[in-house]
């Protein structure tokens, strides 16, 4: 039943994506070219990766406002460890992932042990991560990075189109997460907790441990997004990630995942991220000012949440 509902919830976003593609293709000859579509994927690979972790959290009926700030902190840790301390790139990346895991563990512990609302907890850790990023970086952009840290920003050719390794990594992460949620007991437990945590507990699911695992895993994924951010920009920027938390929620909501938990698909999130990327890219090709791109994205989010609410009411 859950899997069937997830397929249905993804059909709407897929239709919206198809309509957007047809519309923008009719408005610009450049839109459906390989280089432009590759650019769209490059532009969404960081937010798309963030949205994978956000999807896991929202499926449990939680929310994570800290993910953009945690990603920015991890990118500074990775780049500083590699440049200021001269550590090997792999060690630097592991350090960044460890910092992210610590934040995820903190979020999960406060939510499960102290019963604090996820919104409040992650709002607090957002500010902590933001402050630590600026304190540790001393407000300075970290540059002159070793080539290994920018590997995922490199490209390879498919025909005449250049594709980044980071885009491939994002798609691989989506596939792995989709498989885990669909085919494993742990994935089914995530949905069960989002539907009804008390009923899940009565069936033998260790709800607190599972939530702790979800928040920690999501945070590690934010660290991978931080690595992709470094690879895409070629620097460690302390000012990065300030709106990515909202962008990741936008991708999840547009992808058909319910903000109330228990229903949705990570593949829907991929579609949602692509919708945002295609709308912004298409409007840019049409010469529409960026502020109107933000306006239209906001309208799309409200429409998506409205559809979700109406669907929930019909189920009741």
pLDDT digits (tens, 9 = 90+) for 155-193: 999 888 999 999 999 999 999 999 999 999 999 999 999
Question: In this model, does residue 7 exceed pLDDT 90?
Answer: no
Q: Does 51 fall in a domain?
A: yes
Q: Does 315 fall in a domain?
A: no
SS (H, E, C) the chain: CHHHHHHHHHHHHHHHHHHHHHHHHHHCCCCCCHHHHHHHHHHHHHHHHHHHHHHHHHHCCCCCCCHHHHHHHHHHHHHHHHHCCCCCHHHHHHHHHHHHHHHHHHHHHHHHHCCCCHHHHHHHHHHHHHHHHHHHHCCCCECCCCHHHHHHHCEEEECCEEEEHHHHHHHHHHHHHHHHHHHCHHHHHHHHHHHCHHHHHHCCCCHHHHHHHHHHHHHHHHHHHHHHHHHHHCCECCCCCCCHHHHHHHHHHHCCCCCCCCCCCHHHHHHHHHHHHHHHHHHHHCCCCHHHHHHHHHHHHHHHHHHHHHHHHHHC
Q: Does 41 fall in a domain?
A: yes
CATH code at 38? 1.10.3470
Q: Does 290 fall in a domain?
A: yes
pLDDT digits (tens, 9 = 90+) for 182-222: 999 999 999 999 999 999 999 999 999 999 999 999 999 99
Which residues span the domain enclosing 150?
2-306
* Tally of domains within the chain: 1
The per-residue pLDDT for 297 is: 83
Residue burial 217-249, b: 16+ Cβ < 10 Å; e: rest: bbbbbbbbbbbbbbbbbebbbbebbeebbebbb
Q: Does 313 fall in a domain?
A: no
Of the given ranges (41-45, 253-257, 297-301), which has the lowest mean pLDDT? Answer: 297-301
Beta strands at 155-158 and 161-164: parallel, antiparallel or unpaired: antiparallel
Q: Does 73 fall in a domain?
A: yes
Q: Does 316 fall in a domain?
A: no
Q: Does 312 fall in a domain?
A: no
pLDDT digits (tens, 9 = 90+) for 10-39: 788 899 899 999 999 999 999 999 999 999
């Amino acid at each position: 039943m859950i899997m069937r509902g997830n397929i249905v919830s993804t059909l709407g976003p897929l239709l919206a994506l198809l309509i957007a593609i047809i519309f923008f293709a009719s408005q610009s000859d450049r839109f459906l070219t390989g280089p432009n579509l590759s650019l769209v994927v490059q532009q969404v690979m960081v937010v798309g990766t963030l949205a994978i972790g956000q999807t896991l959290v929202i499926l449990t009926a939680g929310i994570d406002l800290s993910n953009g700030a945690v990603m920015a902190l991890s990118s500074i840790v990775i780049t500083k460890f590699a440049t200021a301390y001269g550590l090997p790139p792999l060690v630097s990346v592991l350090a960044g992932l460890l910092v992210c895991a610590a934040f995820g563990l903190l979020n999960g512990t406060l939510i499960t042990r102290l019963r604090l609302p996820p919104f409040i907890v992650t709002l607090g850790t957002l500010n902590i991560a933001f402050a630590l990023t600026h304190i540790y970086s001393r407000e300075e952009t970290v540059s002159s990075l070793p080539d290994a840290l920018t590997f995922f920003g490199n490209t390879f050719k498919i025909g005449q189109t250049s594709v980044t390794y980071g885009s491939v990594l994002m798609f691989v992460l989506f596939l792995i997460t989709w498989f885990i949620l669909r085919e494993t007991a742990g994935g089914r437990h995530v949905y069960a907790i989002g539907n009804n945590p008390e009923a899940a507990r009565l069936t033998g699911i260790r709800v607190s441990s599972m939530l702790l695992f979800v928040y920690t895993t999501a945070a590690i994924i934010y660290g991978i997004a931080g690595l992709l951010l470094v690879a895409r920009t070629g620097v460690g920027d302390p000012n990065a990630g300030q709106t990515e938390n909202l962008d990741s929620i936008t991708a999840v909501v547009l992808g058909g995942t319910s903000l109330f938990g228990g229903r949705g698909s990570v593949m829907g999130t991929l579609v949602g991220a692509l919708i945002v990327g295609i709308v912004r890219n298409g409007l840019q090709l049409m010469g529409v000012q960026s502020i109107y791109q933000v306006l239209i994205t906001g309208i799309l989010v409200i429409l998506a949440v409205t559809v979700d609410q109406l669907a929930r009411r019909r189920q009741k």
